[in-house]
């Protein structure tokens, strides 16, 4: 009888310890001391977190309505560009490779790889790749429904 109690007690302790490793809905998983996974159930490999290299923001106060967020990636060979134009929405442009020369309000400035510029609706400007190597940009436009993305000014 004593042996049955010992075996039964060991079985109950084993069952309790085994159940302690299961995660119920809404509970946090139990991480082992190495921080790599769940104790006694299986190991969960954690991928490395991404590293933020650059971040740009464009504070915008928009009226209620329907909008499209248009994202365009463009390649500019040396010497290519876009003549004077404006956009129908707020714009955030980031240079991914190379550099672009932005002409606006009577000034020129060079925007290099990893840098950004912003535009408000109706801002007249032009851009050109005046560098010796190709440039790539990503353009994000918050465009009200029905508005023209880009309007080129005829000269």
DSSP conformation letters of 65-97: S-EEEEEEEEEE-TT-EEEEEEESSEEEEEEEE
What does residue 79 show for φ and ψ, rounded to 5 degrees? 90, -10
pLDDT digits (tens, 9 = 90+) for 75-109: 999 999 999 999 999 999 999 999 999 999 999 99
Q: Residue 2 has which token pair?
A: 């004593």
What the chain holds in terms of domains, given with CATH numbers, is 1-45 (no CATH), 67-152 (2.60.120.10)
**Greater model confidence, 42 or 94:** 94
Residue 114 pLDDT: 92
d(CA 113, CA 116): 8
For residue 33, the tally of other CB atoms under 10 A from its CB is: 6
pTM, 2 dp: 0.65
| Closest residue by Cα to residue 117 from 57, 67, 52, 71 | 57
Per-residue model confidence as pLDDT tens digits over 111-129: 999 999 999 999 999 999 9
Average pLDDT of 17-36?
52
């Amino acid at each position: 009888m004593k042996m049955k109690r010992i075996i039964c007690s060991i079985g109950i302790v084993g069952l309790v310890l085994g159940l302690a490793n299961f995660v119920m809905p809404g509970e946090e998983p139990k991480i082992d001391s190495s921080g790599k996974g769940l104790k006694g159930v299986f190991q969960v490999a954690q991928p490395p977190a991404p590293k933020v290299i650059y971040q740009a923001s464009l504070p915008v106060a928009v009226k209620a309505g329907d909008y499209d967020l248009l994202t365009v990636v463009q390649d500019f060979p040396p010497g290519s560009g876009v003549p004077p134009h404006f956009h129908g929405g707020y714009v955030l442009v980031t240079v991914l490779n190379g550099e672009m020369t932005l002409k606006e309000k009577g000034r020129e400035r060079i925007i290099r790889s990893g840098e950004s510029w912003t535009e408000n609706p109706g801002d007249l400007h032009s851009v050109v790749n005046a560098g010796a190597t190709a440039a790539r940009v990503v353009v994000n436009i918050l465009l009200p429904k029905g508005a023209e993305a880009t309007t080129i000014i005829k000269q």
